[in-house]
Amino acid sequence: MKLIQTIDAECCPQVLAEPLDEPAAERLASALRVLADPARLRLLSIIGAHPNGEACVCELTGPLGLSQPTVSHHLKVLADAGLVGREQRGRWAYFWVLPEPLELLRGALIAPGQVAGPRTSAISSGSISA
């Protein structure tokens, strides 16, 4: 079995459309595990919010407070999953967020026929409390 699930249409069936069989649930859970790490979520956020829409690996270690090898590991996981693109420019690698895989994950978690957006759920509108 692959350690890192590539996030594509096969990995991400709609959870609420019909009951998931075990293989589909495992593929989706594996894809979600890629994002279930605070450092990887922060990396996506930092890269996505960067003024140019891309960031050099050299710009990512400081904000995370992690070593370069650790940041590189997390970036490799995100790249292997298809969430970020990568380009080598001289001695530095640059990364940017690929929106399609994130939309697939988002689409897997909304109700069939619902349009994803800020008003699609009570959670996003703040009407559900813990």
In a domain? residue 128:
no
pLDDT of amino acid 119: 44
Q: How far is C-alpha 76 from the geometric centre of its chain's CA atoms?
A: 12
More confident residue, 10 or 96: 96
Question: What pLDDT is stored for residue 115 in this prediction?
Answer: 60
- Cβ(15)–Cβ(104) under 8 Å? no
Tally of domains in the chain:
1
Q: Is residue 8 part of a domain?
A: no
Q: Please check whether residue 125 lies inside any domain of the structure.
A: no
The answer to whether residues 14 and 108 touch, using CB atoms and an 8 Å cutoff, is: yes
- For 12-63, the pLDDT digits (tens) are 667 777 788 888 888 888 888 888 899 999 999 999 999 989 999 889 999 9
Q: Which domain holds residue 89?
A: 22-114
Residue 129 or 8, more confident: 8
Q: Which two tokens stand for residue 21?
A: 């069989």
- Summarize pLDDT for 101-120 with one digit per residue, the tens: 888 788 777 777 666 555 44
Q: How far apart are CA 3 and CA 70, in angstroms?
A: 17
Domain contains 6:
no
Pick the more confident residue, 99 or 1.
Answer: 99
Assigned domain for 98 exists: yes
46, 55 in Cβ contact below 8 A?
yes
> Does residue 43 sit within a domain?
yes
What is the CA 81 to chain-centroid distance, rounded?
A: 8
Does some domain include residue 103? yes
Q: What is the CATH number of the domain that holds 44?
A: 1.10.10.10
C-alpha pair distances (Å), 61 with each of 41, 57, 77, 79, 129: 14, 7, 16, 17, 35
Whether the pLDDT of residue 98 is over 60: the answer is yes
The answer as to whether 110 is a domain residue is yes
